[in-house]
Amino acid sequence: MSVPLPSAFRYRDVDADGVRIHCAVAGEGPPVLLLHGYPQTHLIWHHVAPVLTLAHTVVLADLRGYGDSGKPVSTSDNTTYSKRAMARDQVSVMAELGFDRFAVAGHDRGGRVAHRMALDHPDAVTRLAVLDIVPTRHVYEHADAAFSKAYYHWGFLTAGNGIPERLIGGDPEFWVRARMTARHRGGVAFDPAALDEYVRCFSDPAAISASCADYRAAATIDLEHDRADAARSVGCPVLALWGAESFVGRHYDVLGVWRAYAGDVRGEALPSDHYLPEEAPDRTAAALGRFLEA
């Protein structure tokens, strides 16, 4: 496997209560966990992570169901891929690595996992950064025609009867490359080695099934959890970053939305579409660095 990460990053697999979580670790200093989104792996951080290692111990992890992490078969109630379960995985990983308290930054699906982690494990999460998302509950409760057009995959991936699994499985490389290039607008080009890795990992039928289960969980059990916690607020400082050209940036008042879910929120738009850590890596690293040191 050829990956665009410095050799200082050491790979290991951690058993998180029976689910294998693949991760890479480098650097020294206060720990920060970086989580990826769909349809990617920890390599979305390959530009940003080396910069953060100058002052932090950086942990890059593949979410359950993605990359080289374990891919348990989903249960009918979707709890296997609930953000609660995925967050618990990552807290277990950090504890195994010796970190009971840490900052976490998540892009896309990883941001949703990180948000749930901050609610469920407030004693563990010191700071939360969310990249190009607004909370899942807000998304569903304010869905409109523009959302349905831009985020059609949210509905498609929740379809039953094996429909998305069969269709994506027919040409997973096309799906991955098409999804990503459609949401890239200027900035740094995707690294070919990273794209190849995304395709390699997503070509596993188990990964396709797991990712569909992730989205099905968002529309069901995650919403139940989020609505049950509607009166709760994230207690740690929150950084929201979004792409100035992304749907999130164009469609939502990102800071206004997050301030209804957390007490201490700051953030800014960056010159990119959806994939901030790859399209605008220098600005992303600088913003995260300032936030982690504040």
- Would you please indicate which residues are annotated as catalytic (active-site) residues? 108, 274
Place of tokens 């929740």: 158
The partner residues of 254 in beta bridges, in order of sequence, read none
Q: How far apart are the first and last CA of the chain?
A: 37
For residue 79, the 8-state DSSP code is G
CB-based contacts of 205, cutoff 8 Å, min separation 6: 165, 169
Give dist(CA 202, CA 64) in Å, integer. Answer: 13
Q: Give the ranges where 121-191 is alpha helix by DSSP (H).
A: 136-141, 145-150, 152-156, 163-169, 172-181
Which phi and psi angles does 240 have, rounded to 5°?
-110, 125
Interior/surface letters 52-86, b for 16+ CB within 10 angstroms, e for the rest? bbeebbbbbbbbbbbbbbbbbebeeebbbbbbbbb
Q: Where are the beta strands (DSSP E) in the chain?
A: 10-16, 19-26, 31-35, 57-61, 102-107, 125-131, 238-243, 265-270
Give dist(CA 144, CA 58) in Å, integer. Answer: 38
Give the torsion sign (CA, 237, 275, 64, 10): negative
